[in-house]
Amino acid sequence: MLRLAEALLAVGVLVAAPATARAWCQQTTHDDDSCFPDPGTPLLWEGNCLQYSIYQAGSDDLPLDAVRDVMGRSFGAWSQASRDGASPCTYISFSETDLATCDAVEYRSEGGNMNLVVFRESGWQAIRNHAAASMGLTTVLFDPKDGQILSADMELNGEFFTFTVDPANADADLQNTATHEAGHVIGLAHTPVVEATMYGTSTSGETSKATLHEDDIDAVCTMYPIEEDPGECLYPPGGLDPACTPVDDGCGCRTPGDSRGGARAIVLLVAFAIGFARRRL
């Protein structure tokens, strides 16, 4: 395992909205909850596409096909962001991989990686920094030298919430939560704009976060503007590996992430939960 220097962001802390147009907040390498611009480097993915891997157990509340459909629409909301209502203004895109067969939130400096989506149906509070009121939590791991995001893992609180897909009968609407968490995956922090997808709290039955607000659209299209498409789809560092395949160095003496004999990568981690009075996203 990598030794992780943890830069935890305080959960649900909001800043006052500036008077100018920009309100959205980008995650940075600076280890507090302030928004960019701040002393840190803004976090970004390098390529123009991301792969996400849904853990094979799915959700106790929903059929796997429904989960896959909702995740596709949740990530798709960001890739289809449009300022004119017609053409996308961002180059970022997403694709689902084979189901994940391991559910570790991690980044491995040796071996492959993936961006995990997992429902935690038990033991939620035993996981670090997981409050019962948090509906979802996304952990972003990045290179502190340049702010490049290396991995982002989305955990959904199936233990304390029953996720639904019917907006007419929504308690914890999965798409509402997942679209918000997908915003964290691409490097967004919480915005002070109450109506936006990236606002840090949610109410029972809420579905509005499934549709991006202009603040969210401005965010993704400023961070990943279509006119600056890098034109390259990068796979996770070390290659895509939804199975967390153990690293074999030929003698069975090395465990994944153990960079014995080599430079140890330093990876920082930020974790976001969303929240409101009683539930966080």
Residues in contact with Zn ion by CB under 5 A are: 272, 274, 281
Min CB(263)–Zn ion separation in Å:
33
In the bound state with Zn ion, the residue whose beta carbon lies nearer, of 163 and 272, is: 272
Residue 156 near residue 119 (C-beta atoms within 8 A): yes
Min CB(140)–Zn ion separation in Å:
11
Min CB(198)–Zn ion separation in Å:
7
Q: Which two tokens stand for residue 96?
A: 């689902």
In the bound state with Zn ion, the residue whose beta carbon lies nearer, of 2 and 11, is: 11
In the block, residue with structure tokens 């035993």:
126
Min CB(136)–Zn ion separation in Å:
7
In the bound state with Zn ion, the residue whose beta carbon lies nearer, of 152 and 281, is: 281
Q: How many CA atoms does the CB half-sphere of 64 hold within 13 Å? A: 10
Q: Measured between alpha carbons, how far is 180 from 215 in angstroms, rounded to an integer?
A: 13
Q: Measured between alpha carbons, how far is 269 from 260 in angstroms, rounded to an integer?
A: 22
Q: Measured between alpha carbons, how far is 2 from 97 in angstroms, rounded to an integer?
A: 25
Min CB(222)–Zn ion separation in Å:
19
In the bound state with Zn ion, the residue whose beta carbon lies nearer, of 221 and 274, is: 274
In the block, residue with structure tokens 């996981």:
127
DSSP count for the chain of H helices, then E strands: 3, 9
In the bound state with Zn ion, the residue whose beta carbon lies nearer, of 24 and 272, is: 272
**Residue with the closest Cβ to Zn ion?**
274
